[in-house]
Amino acid sequence: MLRRLRIRNLAVVEAVEWELSRGFNVLTGETGAGKSILVDAFLLLLGERAEKGLVRTGAETCLVEGELDGAKDFQGWLEEKGVEPDPEGVLVVKRQISTTGAGRQFLNGSAVTLAVLKELGDRLVDLHGPHDHQTLLSPSAQRAALDAFGGLAKEAAGVRAAWVRTRDAAEKLASFRQKIAGADGATKDLLDHQVKELEQARLRPGEDEELDRNYAAAGHGKRIVELAAEMSHRLEAGEDNALGSLGKVQRALVEWERLDGAAAEMRTKHEQAVEILRDLAREAERRAEQVGLDAERLAEMEGRLDVVQGLKKKYGGSVEAALRRLEELKLRQAELADAKGTESKLEEEVREAARQHGQACSRLSEGRKKAAPRFIREVIEQLHGLGFAQSRLEAALAVQEPGPDGAEGVELLFAPNPGESPRPLRAIASSGELARVMLALKTVLAEKDEVPILIFDEVDANVGGETAVAVAERLRGLGKSHQVLCLTHLPAVAAAADGHFAVAKRVEKGRTFAELARLEGEGRERELTRMLGGEGKAARMMAQELLAARSKRVPPPPALRSRSASDPG
């Protein structure tokens, strides 16, 4: 519940500290006194958009701070949002707004976003009146209300769980099929073809670079053969070849070594030099043989080069990439070998999950069909007592594609007067009518509704007499399971409250100030007398009777019950 609301420099409110009661609270005052501003302050705490001009003239910022208790159920949610929870379940919400429109907001001292406050507001408050904070207007909320009334939480949870299993099974099957097909969507036949193509090519690492060099050299084959022949002549084939001359040097070094042992190292180096030259001669011959190709061998090289270049382009840009791709394709071949059985198994899982989801939807649908007439009967009974003696209310259950919320949509249709066709609640134009419909719904759902704070604005529009008494009784009843705040002009409603607060304006030195007071005893009696039409003796006696009736929990005086709905009271 909201325990305390502190307001500074908000519109005509300079400074107010409001301590609310548990149960049923009313806020009264002359029209334009500032009642709605106090409610707006509370809604600002809960993420509502801040309009321009909220900050009181002459101030730089306005501040709204609220203290709520009984928030132990929010501990996990607070931790999820990075907010330190209070062990006693106290929740302190603070919002500061500047004249520039910038603002800051805090939960238990931790800075949070406006979206977090909005989420908190959705969990804490339902406001019924000329505002947008009306959860029961959406078909999804009406479906949830029907499920709550019918005690169908278990069935609804079963549908959601079965839908999640169905979705997960379908995603698993799709993922498997994508994995088997690969990013390129390759079929098994294409996969087999690619593996065969790469294996038959017998690629070697670095082969492409080697082929490029050989092919380039083959274009100068004749000249290279000539140069190789000249090298061979100079090194070992000619009359004065280098290796023959080095043989003479070898003989001199051998004799030198017999005379001087230190020549052994020189002889070794000479032998190494001779060996290097011989290797050079052999390598030149081999290379000349490689590049000195005939037309047939040159055509073979060109063909191989075409094959290698084609595979490089197709499988990654290099021989190494093509070889890696071959290994990947072989792995996918192995997966495909068992894919048929795995796919069949996953398809069966999808069918079984869908079957279970369908069964869960059927159970929920059956429960909704049984609960809907009872729900409508009870709400209509409440509506009759709220001045809609000949109204109609229907619950339209429309078949839809089975999903996480079942196989039907639910929407409440309402016709306040005879001869009118029922329309969706969100199409009701009159805020007074809408507020009373919401009051009827809330009364029926009171024991099952998890939103702890209910605010009713203009619930008494165009209401008087017996209807006003009925409104008061229902609000008082809601106060047993919720904290209720009602802005009212009806004395019967104000007298029924557990806590009565009045707003008044005063003008001082050209400035307007809104003030809030909790009314008890004579103060409450005076306010009820004002609401009843003046300071006359009859009005005062009626106010006293209203308060006496409340304390004794008996119906209000007949004089009040007989007032017409057109009487402003």
Q: Is the alpha carbon torsion for 371, 374, 378, 380 positive or negative?
A: positive
Residue 568 has pLDDT above 50, yes or no: no
Q: Are residues 14 and 65 in contact, defined by beta-carbon separation less than 8 angstroms?
A: no
Window from 226-230, 262-266, 561-565 with minimum mean pLDDT: 561-565
Residue 221 has pLDDT above 60, yes or no: no
**Distance, CA of 393 to CA of 517 (rounded, Å):** 40
Q: Which of 456, 449, 451 is nearest to 432 (CA)?
A: 456
Range from 63-67, 425-429, 559-563 that averages highest in pLDDT = 63-67
Helix (H) or strand (E) holding 26: strand 24-29
Q: Is 23 left (phi over 0), alpha (psi -120 to 50) or beta?
A: left
The whole-number pLDDT of residue 294 equals 54
Window from 91-95, 237-241, 246-250, 408-412 with minimum mean pLDDT: 237-241
286: CB partners within 8 A, 6+ apart? none
Average pLDDT, the chain: 82
pLDDT interval class at 469 (50, 70, 90)? confident
pLDDT interval class at 559 (50, 70, 90)? very low
The whole-number pLDDT of residue 341 equals 81
For the chain, the residue count is 569
Residue 219 has pLDDT above 70, yes or no: no
The whole-number pLDDT of residue 290 equals 63
Q: Which structural domains are found in the chain, ordered by start?
A: 2-129+422-561 (3.40.50.300), 188-335 (no CATH)
Give pLDDT tens digits for 250-308. Answer: 888 888 888 888 888 888 888 888 888 888 878 877 766 665 555 566 667 678 878 88
Residue 180 has pLDDT above 80, yes or no: no
The whole-number pLDDT of residue 561 equals 45
The whole-number pLDDT of residue 150 equals 93
In 450-559, beta strands by DSSP E: 453-457, 483-487, 499-508, 511-518
What is the mean predicted confidence (pLDDT) over 80-85? 87
Q: Which residue has the tokens 């209807």?
A: 467
Distance of CA 118 to the CA centre of its chain: 14
The whole-number pLDDT of residue 226 equals 61
Helix (H) or strand (E) holding 267: helix 264-291
Give pLDDT tens digits for 484-527. Answer: 999 888 898 999 999 999 998 888 888 888 889 999 999 999 99
CB atoms within 10 A of CB 198: 20
Give pLDDT tens digits for 328-380. Answer: 888 877 777 777 788 889 999 999 999 999 999 999 999 999 999 999 999 99
pLDDT interval class at 553 (50, 70, 90)? low
Distance of CA 11 to the CA centre of its chain: 35
The whole-number pLDDT of residue 285 equals 75
**Distance, CA of 124 to CA of 145 (rounded, Å):** 16
**Distance, CA of 492 to CA of 205 (rounded, Å):** 95
**Distance, CA of 22 to CA of 499 (rounded, Å):** 8
pLDDT interval class at 566 (50, 70, 90)? very low
Q: The whole model's pTM is what? A: 0.59
Distance of CA 520 to the CA centre of its chain: 48
Distance of CA 288 to the CA centre of its chain: 73
17: helix, coil or strand? strand
Give pLDDT tens digits for 102-141. Answer: 889 998 889 999 899 888 888 888 776 654 445 677 888 8
Bridge partners (DSSP) of residue 62 are 97
Q: What percent of the chain has pLDDT over 70?
A: 86
Q: Burial letters for 201-240: b for 16+ Cβ neighbours within 10 Å, e otherwise?
A: bebeeeebeebeebbeebeebeebbeebeebbeebeeeee
399: helix, coil or strand? strand
Angle made by CA atoms 447, 452, 456, in degrees to the nearest 5: 95
Residue 569 has pLDDT above 60, yes or no: no
